[in-house]
Structure formats: C-alpha cells, structure tokens
Amino acid sequence: MPLPPAVLWGYWAVHIDDIRYDPAPNPLYQRLRGLVGDMDHWVMTSNVDALFARNGFAPDRVFTPQGDYGRYQCTTPCTPETWDSRPLVERLLAAYDPATGAVTDSRALPHCPNCGGEVEINVRVGPEFIDALYRPAGARLQEWLSASASDTRLLILELGAGFNTPGVVRWPGEHLTRHLPCARLIRVNPAHPEVPADLADRALPVPADAQHLLDALDAPHPAPKPTVTP
C-alpha cells in the first residue's frame, strides 16, 4: 500500500535534510580528497548525496548517474526540467510533526510546477528518471578517458561498489581495466572484493572498507628490523 503523501514527504524531508544538506564536512570524503591530491582525476559515483562535491572535489569532475537528492522532478514526467529540492525540504520541515512523522499542512506538499501532478526526488527509481542534468558530466568523463594516450596510466580506485547496482560503478570499472592496457583496478570492498580471473594480474582485491584503507595508508610504516645473524 503506498504511504499517504503527508507521511512519504515527511520521511523524505528528514532524510534529505540529513544526508544531502548537512553542512558539516565529512572527514572520510575529505581524506579521500587529500589522497587524490594533485593527480588528474574524475569521480564516478552511485551516491546521490553530493558528498564528493561537498568535500572538496570539483563538482564538474563528478559524474552522478543515479541522480541527486538536491533535485526533484515530475513523476509523469511532463517536462525534462528538474527543481531545487532545498526550498521544498525547508517548507516540508516547517510543517513536520516528529511525533507522527507526517507533514501537517497539506499546502506544504509538492506538486509539479508545470502540470500540477505528482513529483518525486530526481534519482533513478524507474524509467521516468530524468538524467538530463547528469549526462553532460558522463560525456565529459568519456572524453577525458578517450583523450588519454594509450600508454597513460589509469588507476581505478573503486570503493564499496557491491552488487546493488553493479552496472553503475563496478562493471564499468572492470570494463575499463579490460580495455585500457595501462589501467589498474583497486577494489576496496569488505564483502565483495573479488576481481575477475582475466584481470587478476592488473586488479587488486582489498577486503576492507574505505575507512580502513585510509587508516592503513596513514599509519606510520615501521622501519624493517635489522636481521641479526649470530
């Protein structure tokens, strides 16, 4: 049974406010930015929370094919336009009752500004998803990859891309590694670090999460103990 709109939008308002509009910096993403440093790089992510762009990565170098909690769209959709979700979230939260989880003023509930119909958050949930905003970054990433000389070294650092949506990051990374002779893949994943057999000499499985990887890279490396021969 679908949730009543007042409860559905109450949930979305709290959830999006928390993970998309939290102004606090995210230490993990900031450490990732530090790890990349001055290297020429791109981010391809299934995230829809803008955490990369909000923590120091250049927004025009982040490809988010799954959408963005920061936008909403017509469910029909009657137009390829999408709209900023921040004013909507603020309006919903102003009418939100934490005791019931519902939005108490029906005038706060969203409708399509164009046709007056239902709207939804602009993330890939079905064929109605409008990806117009994200496609240009995908095209620029393709250009960046094809502009590289055949001997350009490419390191694909894959973090936590399992099997929920393997077609977004995991399989494209394998595909790139397979087709670019100078590419290497590091697969950081506590549950599914395994790499395809044909890439075994160019792909490294790391059975850990990103946090552990960064901690290990930051840890001081002890000097090798001198071998004492009696």
Q: What is the 3-state secondary structure (H, E, C) of the chain?
A: CCCCHHHHHHHHHHHHHHHCCCCCCCHHHHHHHHHHCCCCCCEECCCCCCCCHHHCCCHHHEECCCEEEEEEEECCCCCCCEEECHHHHHHHHHCEECCCCEECCHHHCCCCCCCCCCEEEEECCCCCCCCCCCHHHHHHHHHHHHHCCCCCCEEEEEECCCCCCCCCCHHHHHHHHHHCCCEEEEEECCCCCCCCHHHCCCEEEECCCHHHHHHHHHCCCCCCCCCCCC
Give the nearest distance from C-beta 120 to Zn ion in angstroms: 11
C-beta of 115 vs 176, nearer to Zn ion: 115
Number of residues that bind Zn ion (CB under 5 A): 7
C-beta of 120 vs 158, nearer to Zn ion: 120
C-beta of 78 vs 125, nearer to Zn ion: 78
Integer Cα distance of 35 and 56 in angstroms: 12
C-beta of 8 vs 115, nearer to Zn ion: 115
- Interface with Zn ion, residue 78, by CB under 5 A: yes
Q: Which amino acid is at 33?
A: R
| Stretch in the footprint of Zn ion (CB under 5 A) among 16-24, 77-85, 124-132, 137-145 | 77-85
- Interface with Zn ion, residue 168, by CB under 5 A: no
C-beta of 78 vs 191, nearer to Zn ion: 78
C-beta of 62 vs 121, nearer to Zn ion: 121
- Interface with Zn ion, residue 95, by CB under 5 A: no
Give the nearest distance from C-beta 121 to Zn ion in angstroms: 15
Pick one of 44, 51, 74, 161: the residue that binds Zn ion (CB under 5 A): 74
Considering only residues 102 through 141, tell me which ones interact with Zn ion, judged by CB under 5 A: 112, 114-115, 117
Catalog residues that contact Zn ion under the rule CB under 5 A: 74, 76, 78, 112, 114-115, 117
